[in-house]
Structure 1
């Protein structure tokens, strides 16, 4: 009975915390028109942009020639789903499904953390961390994508096949969840996860290609993207404005980008850094010899952090991914990513100050806006580097310890057994 109370107490506290914080997030979404919350820009993404894409998708085609459409074909299914919720408008249905995905993530983290030797800290981080982004997560479909990644990681240990399928489906919605398979243990488990992921991805892509026209139209939108103002490159260019750089901020490809001399070179440098990050991850994978139950989780967080900080775009909703992956890491007591999770939480809180609270300062390139970006991105860079260093140390080959036992001397040099000790 006492054990039951110990188990139920934290779960009930997490449930109450989830209900309270999500009610607050809904209230903020209802007051989205406040200038402090972005003047309606957060909710407008769903009610205008997503709904416009839904109308195109409902007629059997992906949004071809729309430069704002930059997502893999699986995103179409997510954007069509709100219309299937009975009795609700498209916007209400979208928010309802987002909250459902959020609840599913929380329940999965509680279930994983409640096992012997595990921790509920991951569920607590997700429950308390997501509201740091205010109402933003409810008006983006990144919570749904994160659900695929979280469930994939939590399933991989028991069923590599199911974990691979979930990772592939998540990748079809927004690309990055394929990285969660990076840390699968060598051998049969890895082959099974990647094999089933490839098969599921191919079948789902074929089904979408048969059901909709122009399934690859998103590629043209991605190829034209420049340097978003919130990225590392954008931070450098924003600071350069104070040194006389003549560029300016412009809305294009669905984001505020910095355009002007050398902006293309900065975008190319970001792509080069992404390639370097991929090389480092491949090197870790080739070198790694030791896996614990936490290694797949830690590798997923590290990979997404590295790809995030080197990207040409760091949208505020990307923090949803990092919070979800950090929460998965903390379900295991063997994780090496605890300090990284603290940095992710701090970056999430500062990201909210950047957008929507002080986004006007950021776009104007004032010192306040520049310093806020520098602080948020500095935390992300520190998190990415620390994550990789700790992953490298914990999963790499063990360092051979020098034996303290002295080699025996040759028989001819040994002292007789009767020789007294000189100690």
Structure 2
């Protein structure tokens, strides 16, 4: 083993992480100006406005842009931990620390026997491809919880269940990480955690579940897969509008409800396929838990009525966890997700005005980005099926007690 080479590689990874994250901080702190609309306004205006409401013990009941589970109040309130900084700066620092937590978890996992630091490299290189949006949303904090839960899954199912349950109460999607979990403890502890937090918030803070109504009423966002139909229709005189609706830029007008329903149908199809896979799978390898989570989130993201740029943070993180395993077969889907991350920063924020206008550049960027996600989802699903659905299940790994008994019997 080349110890010196390994140290140089690790040093290069840490230096790359430090330099790229410094640049991201300089952008969100506006030392440098990133092209396109200001991505930090969500923090300085929307998040800070929610903070003022939440710190008085109630959820923003009259704000339709609040579309998150009740535990989302915690990251919104978290800048209070750094009271010596203004709200926005404190939030950016905490987002940076959450990024560092993800890197630490991936390095810890990657340096274990049978693992590799390729996963850490995916995270180090993938995050800056998305630009400063990563630090201007609370998704990176949720991602840190999700990565911790996923990496704990194999050895500590109860810990995984608690972290996944907590993550689901932050932003729902971490619930998909349970798809490949085989031990009932993970499911039971996740359900118990969700129930406990739901009860706690329901009792202590009014409006804990108002987000369900706001989320249900969302339309078709201009960056989603379904929006491509309207982007093309606009070239032929589609009679509708592009409005700031429910906190995002959405299409409003003819056929929008039909397209939104079609997106929900595709999501239902994805869920049906995942359920079928779970029933048919017999080979559960060490990397199956991570790969199932990656494919599930990829499918739900690609078919969603909304594909916000921060959703890509989830995919980059889950791709990184997959790549921690030497035996992972998700190399091509991971590469496609990284490519989609780069195209995402081009369509938002750099050339977002072209997306809103549905001109040639904007529509082309969306076709490429959404096409990459769809292809990645399909290829990931094929790889997951081929590696896990077979007639002969993989025998369980021998435990320490089993090895001891075998040694005693042979002697």
TM range (shorter): over 0.9
- String of CA shifts for 1:369-402, please: whole Å, max 9, x gaps: 11111111000100111111110111111489xx
> Is residue 365 from structure 1 mapped to residue 358 from structure 2 by the alignment?
yes
2:69–2:211: 8 Å Cα contact kept in structure 1?
Answer: yes
TM-score, normalised to structure 2, is 0.93
Q: What is residue 248 of structure 1 aligned with on the other side?
A: 241
- Correspondence list, 1:5-84, <5 A: 5-31=4-30, 34=33, 37-40=35-38, 42-84=39-81
1:336–1:390: 8 Å Cα contact kept in structure 2?
Answer: yes
Q: What is residue 301 of structure 1 aligned with on the other side?
A: 294
After superposition, the CA RMSD in angstroms is 1.5
> Is residue 125 from structure 1 mapped to residue 132 from structure 2 by the alignment?
no
2:26–2:32: 8 Å Cα contact kept in structure 1?
Answer: no
Q: What is residue 353 of structure 1 aligned with on the other side?
A: 346
Gaps in structure 2 of 5+ consecutive residues: 394-411
**Once the 2 structures are TM-superposed, how far is the Cα of residue 205 of structure 1 from its aligned partner?**
1.6
**Once the 2 structures are TM-superposed, how far is the Cα of residue 6 of structure 1 from its aligned partner?**
4.5
Q: What is residue 259 of structure 2 aligned with on the other side?
A: 266
**Once the 2 structures are TM-superposed, how far is the Cα of residue 147 of structure 1 from its aligned partner?**
0.8
> Is residue 235 from structure 1 mapped to residue 228 from structure 2 by the alignment?
yes
- Correspondence list, 1:155-166, <5 A: 155-166=152-163
Distance 2:232 2:191 in 1: 43
Distance 1:391 1:351 in 2: 25
1:83–1:89: 8 Å Cα contact kept in structure 2?
Answer: no
Distance 1:349 1:32 in 2: 22
Distance 2:31 2:392 in 1: 54
Gaps in structure 1 of 5+ consecutive residues: 401-423
1:33–1:39: 8 Å Cα contact kept in structure 2?
Answer: no
Q: What is residue 316 of structure 2 aligned with on the other side?
A: 323
Distance 2:138 2:253 in 1: 32
Distance 1:87 1:240 in 2: 51
Which is higher, the Rg of structure 1 or of structure 2? 1
Distance 1:21 1:112 in 2: 22
Distance 1:46 1:216 in 2: 22
Q: What is residue 181 of structure 1 aligned with on the other side?
A: 178
Distance 2:181 2:6 in 1: 30
1:11–1:110: 8 Å Cα contact kept in structure 2?
Answer: no
